[in-house]
Structure formats: structure tokens, C-alpha cells
Amino acid sequence: MLRIIFTAEDLSRIRVAAGPDHMWEITNSVQTLQRRDGTTAFGAWRQSVRPRLSADSRILADLLPPYGYSPDFLTPAPGTGGLTTAVRAVTGTPSHRLDTDLTRLAAGRRLSGWVGRLAQGRHSATDALGRAIHAFHTEALAPYWPRIRAHVEADCLIRRHAIREGGPEALLAGLGPRMRWVPPVLEVDYPVCQTLHLRGRGLTLQPSYFCWPAPVSLFDEALAPVLVYPVPHDLWARPDARHDPVQVLGALMGPVRAAVLVAACTARSTGDLAGSLSVSTSSVSQHTAKLRDAGLLITVRQSGRALHITTSLGHALIRGAQRGSLQ
């Protein structure tokens, strides 16, 4: 179990991430790819990705075994840039930090040759790591990034709504069955016993599409505290569907469907939508199904309810319509 100890100051300094973190998604997905559990959520993705991974991508498995410790330096605190900035931070890790993390990784087993060179801070090894991260992202994540982003941003929306409505303790109490708020401690299902004293630094909550099955955190307590946890996956996912944008937009025309899309910007249940729009629940279900098929909305289960949440693409469509109405 991981026990995260809060002070009153920590409760006021909880931060919900804005969206997916590239390096957490990469590290979690490398580990998830090597496992066999979670078939419902990841089976189709694994079957699609495994055959097309390049030799550059495959070396990441040397750093990220399917179970157990993963080096902290691979998931630096997020900056203001995207993947390129994150990779630069990883490959620029000081040699003493590389040695510390990789020595810990090597406990009880022998490191491969290139990982040994990485532990020494060799430029050839850090360059290979940078190429591997970029290659893996291109091959395994980029084709699915809109879906990853939609799910993570949806969970972020739910958490921000919880903290606005009930405060930080309500947020912590609603994080899910693998996390239990027993003030002033957040108890997290974890493969090892660990205690994290926040000491006024606060905590970043980072939902992750590929985190599975339990939350993860950093090993080094001196680093900025972060808790990474699995997001609920789409209940009616059709990841291989392909849609003609013209047909999709044509199918979306209509005032009720547009109202559903706008209302779902704040995460609404079927009953909520039906009541606020004065239509039947069956009508709402039909409209949300069309919106899901178009990639404009996802549906996740939270606290026993199915919640409909507008995706980034849906928000972009709404913004475009707003700009058009002002012209």
C-alpha cells in the first residue's frame, strides 16, 4: 500500500493535470504492452501495435519491465512544451541520477549493454533513448492520441468538477475503489509498502489512459509529488471505426443533438441531459451514440453512473460554431 500523508496546506494545493502527460503515457504503455491482463481495454491495441514496433522502440522494454520499479527519470515534471521538450528533459538527465535510478532497476538482474552505457551517461546511449521514445510514440501512441487525450481530459473534467462542488476532500474520497481517503491519509493500492509525506508541497493528480491496473507514483520522495491513476475507459468503444468527416458532420445536424453536445461539456448523465433538455432518455441515448461514433463525445462510468463528456474535437466544433455565429 502507498500511504500519502496530507497536511491542511497540501489539501489546498491539490492540482489536477490539464491533460495527458506524454512520458507517463509512454512508460505506462510500454509496461502494459508486455502484460496479458486488461484484455478488454487493451487487447485490440496490443494486437495492432506489437507487430509494427521497430527495433528502436523495442529497447524501451529494457528500462520498463511489465511489473515493478520503473526509473523516475523517465517521467520528469511536465514542462510547458510537448513531447520534444519532454524527451529533451529525459535525455538531459544528469549522469549521477541515471546511475542511481538504473542501479535500482538492476537490483537482482543484469542490465543490457546499452542500459549499462546509459547508466554511465554515454551520449550514444542517451541518443538511442531519445530515438526510442520518439519511435514508440509514433508507432504505438500517435494513431490513438485523440482517443487517449479525450479520455484523460474527460477524467480531468470530472475531478475539477468534484473539487468545485465538494472541495479537496470530496475529490480525494471519489478517486475510486483503489484509493481510499482516510483523513489525513490517502491509501492507495500499491505493489509495495511506501509512505509519501507531502509536507506542504501539494499533490498533482495525473490520470493516464495506459496506467494499469493500479495507480503509480515516483519512487523518490524528494521529487515533486504526483499520483498517476487509471482512467475509466469508454463503455462503448469502437477504436477501429473510420468515419467520413463530411458524413459525420451531416449526421450531427439538429438542435437536440447540438444541445446534448454543448451540455456534455460539463459531464452529464443520460438522466441529467433528458431533464435539462426536456426530451426522453431514449432520445438522449440515440443522440449520444451518434456523437460517440463521431468522436465528439465519450461515455465513462463514474460512481455507478454513465457520464457523457464532450471530447476535445467536440469542443473544437462548438468553438467553430460560436465563431461562425458571430460573423
Q: What pLDDT band is residue 322 in, cutting at 50, 70 and 90?
A: low
Q: Which of 145, 154, 136 is nearest to 17 (CA)?
A: 154
pLDDT confidence of 312, banded at 50, 70, 90? confident
pLDDT number for residue 217: 94
Question: For position 301, what pLDDT does the model report?
Answer: 77
Q: Which DSSP symbol is given to 221?
A: T
How many residues are listed for the chain in this entry? Answer: 327
Give pLDDT, residue 295: 83
Query: Residue 213: is the preceding peptide bond cis (ω within 30°)?
Result: yes
Mean pLDDT of 153-171: 87
Pairing verdict, β 203-208 and 226-230: parallel
What are the tens digits of pLDDT across the range 112-143? 788 889 988 899 999 999 999 999 999 999 98
- 44-54 pLDDT, tens digit each: 899 999 999 99
Closest C-alpha to 24, from 185, 173, 215: 215
Question: Nearest-CA neighbor of 259 among 218, 308, 327?
Answer: 308
Maximum average pLDDT range among 152-156, 196-200, 266-270, 279-283? 196-200
- CATH 1.10.10.10 domain locations along the chain: 245-325
DSSP summary character for residue 78: P
Q: For 6-10, which contacts have Cβ atoms below 8 Å and span 24 or more sequence positions?
A: 6/183, 6/184, 6/185, 6/186, 6/198, 6/203, 7/184, 7/198, 7/199, 7/200, 9/200, 9/202, 10/198, 10/199, 10/200, 10/201, 10/202, 10/203
Radius of gyration of the chain, Cα coordinates, nearest whole angstrom? 21
242 vs 73, higher pLDDT: 73
Point out the least confidently predicted range of 17-26, 117-126, 228-237, 254-263. Answer: 228-237
Contact 125, 117 (CB under 8 A): yes
pLDDT at 325: 43
Work out the pLDDT band at 108, boundaries 50, 70, 90: low
Q: Residue 210: what pLDDT?
A: 95
DSSP assignment string, 135-197: HHIIIIIGGGHHHHHHHHHHHHHHHHHHHHHH-HHHHHHTS-TTEEEETTEEEE--SS-EEEE
Beta strands in the chain (DSSP E): 2-5, 14-16, 179-182, 185-188, 194-197, 203-208, 216-217, 226-230, 268-269, 297-302, 305-310
CATH of domain 245-325: 1.10.10.10
Q: Residue 111's pLDDT is what?
A: 72
269 DSSP β-pair partners: 307
What are the beta bridge partners of residue 300?
307
